[in-house]
Structure 1
Amino acid sequence: MLLTMLLSIVPVTTTGAYDDVRQADDGRTLILRTIDWETDDGQRTRVTVDWQLLDDGSMLYEYSRQPPATQAVHRQYCAAQGMNVFLGSSWLSGEGATHAFHCSSTP
């Protein structure tokens, strides 16, 4: 029980995260989340991730809509795991979730 409580109060370690919320012309709510992403070599790279806020509070990530710098960090992250970028749609949800990259073992 004590361990569960300790894990639930650990703060998110991502630094430099902030959101710019925008309404698209078609009515979608977009969240441009800028974060300092820590790479495998311990360096931090600032990237902006384009999320679409869905009605249930989750966020939709599409690789093709990301800025080139974000796509590059996504590719590097997946390659470091021995995997490939997942080119489909991914969702992020959950309290305290700030970001995730989706990788796949298939090309």
Structure 2
Amino acid sequence: MGIIKELFRDFYKSHDYETANQLLKEWLQLAWSSPFSSFHEVAKTIENWRIQILQYFKTPFTNGRTEGTNHKIKNIKRRAYGYRNLHRFRTRVFLECTGKTYEKWVS
């Protein structure tokens, strides 16, 4: 089981599309031959998203930073139970995401 996980890390560390594609094919074969159903579920998901996953090796950009910012904003909204004042909400978002207050950001 541990070897399959480590082989997936090798795939992710690939430096080019062709190597990544080959390693992903090999990994999927191992995952499907595993006796653990959890690997089958992951293999099915990866096969459904294969093109999008491999696209990373052509253009290595992700939306991780945007997703992280959105997650922080949602957490702020949950903790605050809704801000009545948009300026205070905006200030809190800037503080959480940049470490600066809105006034410092604008200046």
TM range (shorter): under 0.3
Structure possessing the higher radius of gyration over alpha carbons? 2
* TM-score computed with the length of structure 2 as normaliser: 0.22
* TM-score computed with the length of structure 1 as normaliser: 0.22
